[in-house]
Structure 1
């Protein structure tokens, strides 16, 4: 196995660009998107049980996705024993830009793992790193730490303790994202000066090439041997604190260089609070290994700290009963619209063309850093790659322990969803219409719900018909299905959280949807750092910021309580002043309770 010192310095530009659809396929996609609008309209407005119908359709699509994913694995297993590997060799030749030294070999699911984080709790970080020791098919481990100050040394120490052998730590002098941005801007400036039309693709390719060269140079300076019995198998990169997108970019560039040396075709990407199971990497990558059109995949998630607080118990029920199903809607067509950050796999040949456009994304005139996982997925879909959701594979992630942190996380995720769903309409032209249908349901369903609630609150009239039995049927059907088919098997003590988890998720959802739409340009990591000293600092955030982040929830709880009080007052036949007292008291109690568990608790 060669070391960076022995390898050729010259990288050629990657030529793999995905698989763009034909003109006829584009036309069919457009017609399918147009047809999905009246289908969604009639299945909701003109259905007696729209919520029940929706869950039945979702379950059917989930089962279809499970069937297709299993078929992908079986096809990959058969390819291991097939004497002809022509397609596999063609892919190797296409990615001549990076795998210069990798010789054609049998299909396999070997991968390297990249785990990024910022000031993670040391004990949790240690558990996360330890889990990779038993992960099948993981041949190289890369840790990325977003910070190089004294407080960040804890994570470095954990890395050295977990991987005491065949490992090293490298300080990155300048974040590679900044290098890429500077060279890209300089290249486009030169194009303008020379009177040449600005070619962003060319500028992206040049800046990507420079980052790859710089990463190779850094490895050479440290005289590292990658691979082999005595070579480095665990590498920790640390750089000046920026944001998650910044450390991800650096880690991915180094992953491309190291994978070139090792002849690895796949990258597993995760967060510093995620614990993987022995088959998490292998079974996720197996879903894309035999499909040259598949650029990425992600697995399902469970919560590993579910017993910590009431909020984590409720969040765990949400992951089990809701997210498992909702993420499966477009997945059966290979158009999963979000590769979840904690559990994502990439075909490395898909990354060179998308990393710089992903990192330099601009929306509303500013750089975006809140939608790192969704924008990676969007870039894959735009270039014709399939994205798979392996719903029957699990990894365990950490969830916020308080209501305030949970809501901040949900708002951050919703902002990223809006940015990718509403500001990148081209993705629906090149993808299956089911992606558009899923977007319409996800984006406008909660918004319509918020409008209906507020309409009744102010007018006393129903905007849409609401049936209590419809919601009851929906909860019963989804719960029974999950008990039978969900890979995550609940313990007996967790069953009591299922129904409260439905209310925990769906009552704030309309408010989260509307507020996140109004504040799409806000940024940040989304959740605070968890090192003990920084948690104390986070508690001292100003009341003004707390109201900006969470005030919408306090107001919304008051509106919801007012609607419930109005319905009961009408049912009981109260006179107008009794009705007003009932509404005002209910709103006051609900708003106080909302403030108490969010703003009051974070002050």
Structure 2
């Protein structure tokens, strides 16, 4: 399967740690010792975003140059020795062919059909593996869609036992035998043995079905279904089969996506060519846009958030090859990086619990821990689905935030193996919203300011960020979408401190939060207790914000204490009721 990730020398790790230490006062200086911290932050973020664009373009140029040397090798006899010496000095010439792995569970059939259809337009995709997490009657809808979209050169395989269960059993048996024979082996060695067993099992299943993969007229689209587990379970099975199929086809890269994601003709190629020329690059991801933006007001606002905020925030550490999250809908891997990380990723435990919902971020963490670079192709776009209601949007944000906290705070070793900019980005992301939330709560209860918020500072930040996005964001807004820019900023930043704080307090909570999009799953109702746990924090937060606004206005108009108290109580009640109406009441 190729070489494993580069090992970071101890000297480099020490330098990285020193850089992280120096990043702390730097972050402090850019926040506490300036009159315009928010404006300065957006300027720094824009600088890193432009640097990332420069870096990924350099990666593509390097790939094209290597391809040109290869193409000319047979044409220019007089430079044959020069070309030969150049190619010998390179780790090998990659092609942009890839496998695509699309996983899902009880997806809306129409959306799933659109997702599968979109891969027909991608020249880079030479084989597609669709993983379905479920084999009951309700799961047959996705199988039927797969057969409809790919009626020829396709096959459906029922996996008798999820490979995640197999790998746990084999790994435990290997460790038990080593202890019994008094020949202890490391966890990494046990992982390698269990991984090889799964690969051989996948090979045998493919041989039994005689799919003639790679042969003329052979299967080019494969659907795998297994009993329902969770997203990590079907991803693990799909990735193992992808490793085997890629070995047969001689393909180096894997594109991984979700059943609600629509790829554009250049999505796969544009993402993969950022890592193709660098053998130390283990993964990359593309930017995201929302394909259901016109569905509800929430989706319109969410689409503007993707445009205005996520494009910038994901670019900060990426320019150094240390992007800390390969988004699940739009991720590419160098297949050589996967065998070593799949089992530690699948068996992840945090806070004493088995983790199943932070699949994309933990894959990225495992790559970074082993010295692989992770890139962000910010100028390439892929279309994803976004929640249609406020309650589902908040649940999604909380789930993402929990995963972010776990990977940022519980894996400190990653900062020793990665560029200090990764630590700087983490510090800004983790501490900024937390400080803001604490300052607002403190003012609500004590009327004392911990942090001074400058309206001018915030206004400059909005203007600079919006102007930059209008000029440079690859997602070009239509004229009618401009009206959503300011509302989307409020939509994103008003709940952000509460989402951040609540997710940090409930890091160990499991569960997906939102239901899948199949009609049967959407019809299921959560208990009121579960709903309050998932979104009740927002009701409380809006009550606090309403009270804070009343206190600020009361101080401005110089109200007496009992008038301020009455205004605070009324404002808090009205804000909480409004939040309850758009979340708990409507869910």
**One fold, TM greater than 0.5?**
yes
- Pairing partner for 2:501 from 511, 514, 517: 514
Equivalent in 470, 493, 515 of residue 483 of structure 1: 470
- Name which of 467, 488, 495 aligns with 2:454: 467
Equivalent in the alignment of 1:545: 530
Q: Which runs of 4+ in 1 moved over 3 A?
A: 83-92
**1:524-547 residue CA offsets vs partner (Å, 9 max, x unmatched):** 23421111122112xx21111101
Q: How many correspondences in the alignment?
A: 575
Q: Single out whichever of 561-570 and 391-400 deviates more from structure 2.
A: 561-570
Match of residue 312 from structure 1: 299
1:345 — aligned with what? 332
Shift of 1:15: 6.3
Deviation at 1:366, TM superposition (A): 1.7
Alignment-derived partner of residue 572 in structure 1: 557
Structure-2 residue corresponding to 1:431: 418
* Aligned-partner SS, 1:322: helix
Of the candidates 464, 469, 493, which is equivalent to residue 480 of structure 2? 493
Shift of 1:86: 7.5
Separation (CA, whole Å) in 1 of partners of 2:454 and 2:249 = 59
- Rounded to whole Å, the distance in 2 between the matches of 1:547 and 1:189 is 44
User: In 1, are the aligned partners of 2:286 and 2:382 still within 8 Å (CA)?
Assistant: yes
Distance 1:249 1:427 in 2: 23
Take 2:434 and 2:421, find their aligned partners in 1: how far apart are those partners?
Answer: 20
Structure 2 counterparts to residues 292-311 of structure 1, below 5 A: 292-311=279-298
- Name 2:262's counterpart in structure 1: 275
* Distance in 2, Cα, partners of 1:217 & 1:90: 37
Conserved 8 A contact 1:249-1:359: yes
Deviation at 1:283, TM superposition (A): 0.7
1:87 deviates by: 8.7
Distance 1:593 1:85, change over 3 A: farther
TM-align CA RMSD: 1.4
Is contact 1:370–1:526 with CA below 8 Å preserved after alignment? no
Shift of 1:88: 7.4
What is the aligned partner in structure 1 of residue 79 from structure 2?
A: none
1:116 to 87, 103, 120: 103
* Residue among 230, 239, 253 paired with 2:240: 253
Tell me, in whole angstroms, the C-alpha distance in 2 between the residues paired with 1:70 and 1:463: 43
1:560 aligns with 2:539: no
Distance 1:226 1:88, change over 3 A: farther
1:420 and 2:407 correspond: yes
| 1:129 corresponds to | 116
What CA deviation, in whole Å up to 9, does each residue of 1:201-221 have, x standing for no partner?
011001100100110011011
Contact kept? 1:88, 1:107, Cα under 8 Å: no
1:217 maps to which of 204, 213, 224: 204
CA apart distance, 1:415: 0.6
SS in 2 for 1:594: helix
For the residues of structure 2 that align with 1:139 and 1:52, how far apart are their CA atoms?
46
- Aligned equivalents of 1:171, 1:495: Cα separation in 2: 48
1:59 aligns with 2:59: no
1:91–1:292 CA contact under 8 A, matched in 2: no
Judged with a 3 Å threshold, the aligned counterparts in structure 2 of structure 1 residues 201 and 486 are, in CA distance, closer, same or farther, namely same
Q: 1: CA distance between counterparts of 2:84 and 2:132?
A: 39
1:152 to 113, 118, 139: 139
Secondary structure, aligned partner of 1:299: strand
Unaligned 5+ segments in structure 1 are: 1-13, 93-103
Q: 1:290 aligns with which of 277, 280, 286?
A: 277
Contact 2:107 2:260 in 1 (8 A): yes
Uncovered stretches (5+) of structure 2, i.e. residues with no partner:
74-82
